[in-house]
Structure 1
Amino acid sequence: MLFDFSGTLFRVESTESWLRAVLDETGHTLPEPELRATARSLEAVGALPGGASPVQLPAHLAGVWAVRDESAELHRAAYTGLSRQVALPDPALYDSLYERHMTPAAWSPYPDAAEVLRVLRERGIGVGVVSNIGWDLRPVFREHGLDRYVDAYVLSYEHGVQKPDPRLFSVACAALGADPRQVVMVGDSKEADGGAAALGCRVHYVDHLPVTDRPDALLPVLHLVG
């Protein structure tokens, strides 16, 4: 079984939490109304990876946005480019925000993620994580105790290919030694994760919701495999 990362097994913190953490870490302060307004602006421009998509994508970022998950450099350029549309008290904060989202503290597993992965391991079913991403998410899984259940990580930036390109799913199936026709891909994006269907994988979708609003959406996948 293959899983997407963001919005499927884990969810990133809220944009306001993200901004507050970075301001605290760097010793900056903003009046409360300004902090909340800035967080709303950052959310609107889509500055938080794993958060909301841009309401309107600037023309000068359209090219890098389309291929943002193909390398670490492109990913950083896309998201720091978006965040720079919003005024912050120190130019260094744009990179600090980007660094924050790559930390385990910025991510929370969905409530049923551990149980689902544990049961799959007990049943002897191989598990792979296939993610469009520009950084190494393995420390997030280790910090939250889920790395023990994952047999393979296939990350777009490490292969220069991003979902829905079937090649990324093919790499994942090969890493598990699995026939794609016997594999289920679980994700939150019909556009990206649906690419697995081109190989013959079954695809199961979950909603990309806050952790508190999605307590058990992963549990049904246990009925999709023997």
Structure 2
Amino acid sequence: MPIVAVIFDAFGTVVQIGRKRHPYRQLLRLGALQGRRPSAADLHRLMTSSLSLDAAAETFGICLSPGQMKSLQHDLEDELDSISVYPDAVDALRLLKAEGVVTGICSNLAAPYGPVLRQHFSDVDGFALSYDVGVMKPHPGIYREICHQLGVTLGLDMPHSDERVAMIGDSVQCDRDGPRAAGISGFHLDRKGKGPISCLTQFAELALKTA
């Protein structure tokens, strides 16, 4: 079956953060110092809601001084400024676009990171970002959303379709196994070279051969 659409994960796959400051993690640590117990639900809330730093502090009941908020905001802005695109991502997208393959990005991330991602990849055909969609990978709903934007159908919804959708990312659970469970051909990217795919250009060439 021909590959008609390719979906990319974002961080660790098509972009990287040069200066990791973890401002939201810092926020939760400040909350812990105030006696608030962090939980796994915190991450889910941050990734599935459009929460700025100050809105997140209010949502979690964390009291910050103006100086603390200024410091966190500075770290967030510094982290956002340090985001850069992997060169092989540019090459892979160029190869796929030249052959008429539609492309999209599907990622779990907090709201402030979305605009930067969209700016770097203004020419892709769709974005399914967890804070917009309201669910996180590997929930099938986020894969369904990106496929809807790309005008293709999940294999889960149409098992006899002659169209094939592929996805790649650096998470086995979210970018290989999750997509496969939804009817997408999922692939794991291991930039350290310990897996079969270590470069997005290599993946794009593989996808085009299959197509």
What TM-score, normalized by structure 1, do the two folds share?
A: 0.65
**More contact order relative to length (CA 8 Å, sep ≥ 6):** 2
2:127 touches 2:146 (CA, 8 Å); kept in 1?
Answer: yes
Q: What is the Cα deviation at residue 72 of structure 1?
A: 2.3
Does residue 122 of the first structure (1) align with residue 101 of the second (2)?
A: no
AA aligned to 2:114 is L
User: What SS class does the counterpart of residue 87 from structure 2 fall into?
Assistant: coil
Structure 1 residue 65, shift from structure 2 partner: 2.0
Q: Work out which of the residue numbers 56, 74, 79 in structure 2 matches 1:96.
A: 74
Is 1:147 aligned to 2:152, yes or no? no
- Counterpart secondary structure, 1:147: coil
CA offsets 1:123-161 (integer angstroms, 9 cap, x no match)? 00000101111225244453x4x422x000111111111
Residue 157 of structure 1, aligned match among 119, 131, 148:
131
Give CA-to-partner distance per residue, 1:144-179, whole Å, 9 cap, x none: 4x422x000111111111111011001111111113
CA–CA distance in structure 2, aligned partners of residues 110 and 154 of structure 1:
20
RMSD: 3.0
Are the structure 2 counterparts of residues 132 and 72 from structure 1 closer, same or farther at C-alpha, using a change threshold of 3 Å? Answer: same
Q: Indicate the residue corresponding to 1:14 in structure 2.
A: 19
* Residue in structure 2 matched with residue 219 of structure 1 by the alignment: 201
Number of residue pairs matched by the alignment: 171
* 2:85 is the alignment partner of 1:109: yes
Q: In proportion to residue count, which structure has more strand?
A: 2
Equivalence for 1:186: 168
Structure 2: give runs of 5+ residues left out of the alignment.
1-5, 28-34, 156-163, 193-197
Matching residue of 2:143:
169
**1:77 aligned partner, one-letter code:** A
Task: Report the TM-score when normalising by structure 2.
Answer: 0.69
Query: What fraction of aligned residue pairs are identical, expressed as a percent?
Result: 27
1:195 and 2:185 aligned: no
Query: Would the aligned equivalents of 1:64 and 1:77 in 2 still touch at CA under 8 Å?
Result: no
Q: What CA distance in whole angstroms lies between the structure 1 residues aligned with 2:84 and 2:25?
A: 19
The equivalent residue for 1:137 is: 114
The 8 Å contact of residues 166 and 185 in structure 2, kept in 1 or not, is answered as: yes
Aligned to 1:37: none
Distance 1:5 1:152, change over 3 A: same
Matched residue, 2:32: none
CA distance in 2, matches of 1:217, 1:12: 18
In structure 2, relative to structure 1, the CA distance for the partners of 1:198 and 1:65 (3 Å cut) is same
What SS does the corresponding residue of 2:92 show, helix, strand or coil? helix
Q: How far, CA to CA, are the matches of 1:203 and 1:47 in structure 2?
A: 33
Structure 1 residues without counterparts, runs of 5 or longer: 19-41, 49-57, 85-89, 210-215
Give the Cα separation in 1 of the matches to 2:138 and 2:36: 23
> Aligned with 1:158: secondary structure?
helix
Q: Tell me the CA shift for residue 219 of structure 1.
A: 1.4
